[in-house]
Amino acid sequence: MHKFAKILSYVFDGSVISIPILIIICLSIESDVIKALGWAFLCLTFTMIIPYLYVYILNRKKLIDDLHIPNRENRIKPLIITTVSNIICFTILYILEAPPFLKTMFLAAIISTITIGIITYFWKISIHTAWMTFIIITFIILFGKWMMVLIPLIPVIGWSRVKIKRHTITQVITGSVITSSTTFFVFYHYGFISFV
């Protein structure tokens, strides 16, 4: 079970799963395929490639010993780089008049990342469950309630992180709760969620 949990942990790492997810989202909100792939490439550059390269360089320089950065103290700088990179991307999306849903999604991601970063100064929480929660909520808003079938992935991924002793149960739950709160707030504020 430990090996299976480790596989899940790597498969659902944000740097890996971001590629198909962002392509799917962009193709869904932009009818022009070329434009959609352009948006996806732009987003992936700032959300995955730049942050991952930074973490990879840290790993190569032996400043961290694991790409998943198990030590809380070592997560601060990568989270700052990720936040700055996301803000730059959001600014470019705004200037280029990207689809409103994409801009709103990035704003939600920025707020969630800042919140997680602040908490990480004092306490380690699960970025895996935070990211998966963000994606599932985004999919539900974009594709409809039937995407709720993906919700069980959150506790499964949380279990994998606890199983390989990277997080406690409280830490995986907190990651999910924080992201769901910020994501719902932002999407609701910009009219993508209606409770009427």
Residue that wins the pLDDT comparison between 195 and 26: 26
Give percent of the chain with pLDDT exceeding 70.
Answer: 98
Q: How far apart are CA 159 and CA 154, in angstroms?
A: 9
pLDDT above 80 for 114: yes
3-state helix, strand, coil in the chain (%, to 5): 80, 0, 20
Structure confidence at residue 10 (pLDDT): 78
Per-residue pLDDT at 11 exceeds 80: no
Burial, 158: exposed, middle or buried (Cβ in 10 Å; 0-12, 13-18, 19+)?
Answer: buried
As given in the structure block, the two tokens for residue 9 are: 């942990």
What is the spatial distance between Cα 151 and Cα 141, in angstroms, rounded to a whole number? 13
- How far apart CA 176 and CA 196 sit, in angstroms, is 25
Helices in 45-148 by DSSP H: which ranges?
A: 50-60, 76-95, 100-120, 127-143
Lowest mean pLDDT among 16-20, 28-32, 65-69: 65-69
* Per-residue model confidence (pLDDT) at position 37: 97
pLDDT in tens, 150-174: 999 999 999 999 999 889 999 999 9
